Amino acid sequence: MNKTVNQKAWLFVLPVLVLVAFNAIIPLMTVVNYSVQETFGNNVFSWAGIIWFEEVLTSQRFHASLGRQLFFTFTILAIEVPLGVIIALAMPRKGIWVSVCLVLMAMPLLIPWNVVGAIWNIFALPQIGMLGNLLNGMGIDYNFTRQPGDAWATLIAMDVWHWTSLVVLLAYAGLVSIPEAYYQAAKIDGASSWAIFRYIQLPKMKRVLTIAILLRFMDSFNIYTEPFVLTGGGPGNSTTLLSIDLVKVALGQFDLGPAAAMSLVYFLVILLLSWVFYTLMMRDEEQ
């Protein structure tokens, strides 16, 4: 769309700017402030330079959490995105079942995150949970509170359960926006269903899928409450993702300096990766 240049448009943006800046810039400055200071309690602070950053960047613990975080994020993306597309393709396009499917599928999205953790906790408990009881009944030795492998499997199953619907909803929206004429043309040309998917459906879904991938990437990188309620980061440290580790340092040990430095590094990692995703996908689109 041709946009007209109008500097007064700033006035329209002003309320948003004020609110978001209040919430974003002041806390961010607080974090930056802590990250370069040393404190011995009693509100006495002294300049510490970049020691906290050095500490974080070289610490084994941070590397381990970051590694687990990356593994988690890429695993759930690799499962949720293809699965969401497959389900969206198989969904009915009209009739009463559309509403039924959409309403039921959207359910997990609106459950508070701690409840999601609680649901999966009681669902997977080895003896009293439905899943845990079933698996153990089948002779599989399953206990997510003791065995790291089981904890990971449960964590990933929970996230797939929780968020695949977002990808489905977005992909479905992309699919219904394709005019019927495209399919008729493809039929006349005798296109296979793979060809229809590859050359009609996938390009039309590209925009919504970009949004889905970006949202899932950002949110899974920020995930805190669900794994905290489900496993508490355990057994041991095996499912301690970045934000769980951060909260342990910041609110548990009250190490403000290291926690602040870690926050900034964490935020920058997300920002950088999101920016790379965003530019890569937008560049494709412009071509």
Q: Which of 9, 50, 185, 195 binds other proteins (CB under 8 A)?
A: 9
- Window 151-170: residues binding other proteins (CB under 8 A): 161, 164-165, 168-170
Bridge partners of residue 43, in order along the sequence: none
Length of the chain counted residue by residue? 287
Instruction: Give the residue with the Cβ less far from other proteins, 90 or 188.
Output: 90
To the nearest whole angstrom, how small is the minimum distance from the Cβ of residue 169 to other proteins?
Answer: 6
The two three-digit tokens of residue 180, written as one number: 């019927």
Rounded to an integer, what distance in angstroms lies between the CA atom of residue 80 and that of residue 67?
20
Work out whether 192 is an interface residue with other proteins (CB under 8 A). no
Work out whether 127 is an interface residue with other proteins (CB under 8 A). yes
Q: Which of 56, 76, 85, 119 binds other proteins (CB under 8 A)?
A: 119
Query: Taken in order 228, 151, 274, 109, is the CA torsion positive or negative?
Result: negative
Distances, alpha carbon 109 to alpha carbons 163, 212, 256, in Å: 7, 14, 33
- Window 204-233: residues binding other proteins (CB under 8 A): 207-208, 211, 218, 221-222, 224-225, 229
- Binding segment for other proteins among 45-53, 81-89, 148-156, 195-203 (CB under 8 A)? 81-89
The two three-digit tokens of residue 195, written as one number: 């060809």
| Cβ atoms of residues 230 and 154 within 8 Å | yes
| Cβ atoms of residues 237 and 5 within 8 Å | no
Instruction: Give the residue with the Cβ less far from other proteins, 155 or 244.
Output: 244
Instruction: Give the residue with the Cβ less far from other proteins, 50 or 268.
Output: 268
Work out whether 105 is an interface residue with other proteins (CB under 8 A). yes
Work out whether 30 is an interface residue with other proteins (CB under 8 A). yes
Work out whether 261 is an interface residue with other proteins (CB under 8 A). no
Work out whether 96 is an interface residue with other proteins (CB under 8 A). no
To the nearest whole angstrom, how small is the minimum distance from the Cβ of residue 149 to other proteins?
Answer: 20
Work out whether 5 is an interface residue with other proteins (CB under 8 A). yes
Work out whether 53 is an interface residue with other proteins (CB under 8 A). no
Instruction: Tokens 């300096």: give the residue.
Output: 257
Instruction: Tokens 């699919």: give the residue.
Output: 175
DSSP 109: G
Instruction: Give the residue with the Cβ less far from other proteins, 59 or 177.
Output: 177
To the nearest whole angstrom, how small is the minimum distance from the Cβ of residue 176 to other proteins?
Answer: 5
Work out whether 15 is an interface residue with other proteins (CB under 8 A). yes
Work out whether 197 is an interface residue with other proteins (CB under 8 A). no
107: left (phi over 0), alpha (psi -120 to 50) or beta: alpha
- Residues in the interface with other proteins (CB under 8 A) total 95
Q: Write the CB contacts of 227 (distance below 8 Å, at least 6 apart in sequence).
A: 117, 155, 233, 239, 241, 244
Bridge partners of residue 253, in order along the sequence: none
Work out whether 242 is an interface residue with other proteins (CB under 8 A). yes
The two three-digit tokens of residue 17, written as one number: 């700017």
Q: Write the CB contacts of 239 (distance below 8 Å, at least 6 apart in sequence).
A: 68, 148, 151, 152, 155, 227, 231, 233
Instruction: Give the residue with the Cβ less far from other proteins, 107 or 188.
Output: 107
